Amino acid sequence: MSLNNLQLPASLLADLYSSTLVQSSEAYTPKEKMKIEEVKISFLGGNEKRITIVIADAKQAYMSDADLEWMQKMLFACKLSLGDVAIINLHTKKTDINLIKQQLRPAKLIMLGPAPSEIELPLNFPMFKLQQHDDCIYLHAPSPAELNQEVEGIKEQKMKLWTSLKQLFEL
């Protein structure tokens, strides 16, 4: 008798597979459902083009009106809108790259303010340098609050960001 033709009694099969491999959402207890909802990332935007923007603003749910206006101008210059992106504020809910990739599946991820280490990205790279890793292109730049000022040196930072964005979106 070969292993291909081996037949096991039903009681033995039931003991071997006593728990399911795939669990439907109805099978979760209320406590388990709450835990799943706790790790759900909330974001501003529609994420239609799978572009994630990570910021860290301790004073706002997402960002101030002035910073949002600046962000919309930046997106418009890149031929994008809020519907194309997902904006995550790390101060609202601490998250990491694994959750971001699992839930938002970004093709491009722009960190405006937070360093790569703050989302537990396993690599470090300088600001304004595009970095490809694990099917995603990353960009690190100063925060919208910093870039949305009229102080000395910011114009250079804005130009570096614009150059990087043109490369990222091949404008």
**Domain range enclosing 78:** 51-169
The pLDDT tens digits for 97-152 are 999 999 999 999 999 999 999 999 999 999 999 999 999 999 999 999 898 888 88
For 97-158, give the DSSP string: HHHHHHHH--SEEEEESS-GGGGT-S----TT--EEETTEEEEEE--HHHHTS--TTHHHHH
Question: 85 in a domain, yes or no?
Answer: yes
Q: For residue 111, is it within any domain? A: yes
Residue 2 inside a domain? The answer is no
Residue 6 lies in a domain: no
- Specify the CATH number for the domain of residue 88: 3.40.470.10
The predicted pLDDT at position 138 comes to: 97
Comparison of pLDDT for 108 and 9, the residue scoring more: 108
- Per-residue model confidence (pLDDT) at position 148: 85
pLDDT interval class at 82 (50, 70, 90): very high
Using only C-alpha atoms, what is the Rg of the chain?
A: 22
- Any domain includes 84: yes
In a domain, 11, yes or no: no
Task: Report if residue 153 sits inside a domain.
Answer: yes
Select from 123, 156, 155 the least CA-distant residue to 139: 123
pLDDT reported for residue 114: 93
Whether 10 is in a domain gets the answer no
pLDDT tens digits, 18-49: 655 555 545 556 655 555 455 789 999 999 99
In the chain, the number of structural domains is 1
φ and ψ at residue 7, rounded to 5 degrees: -115, 130
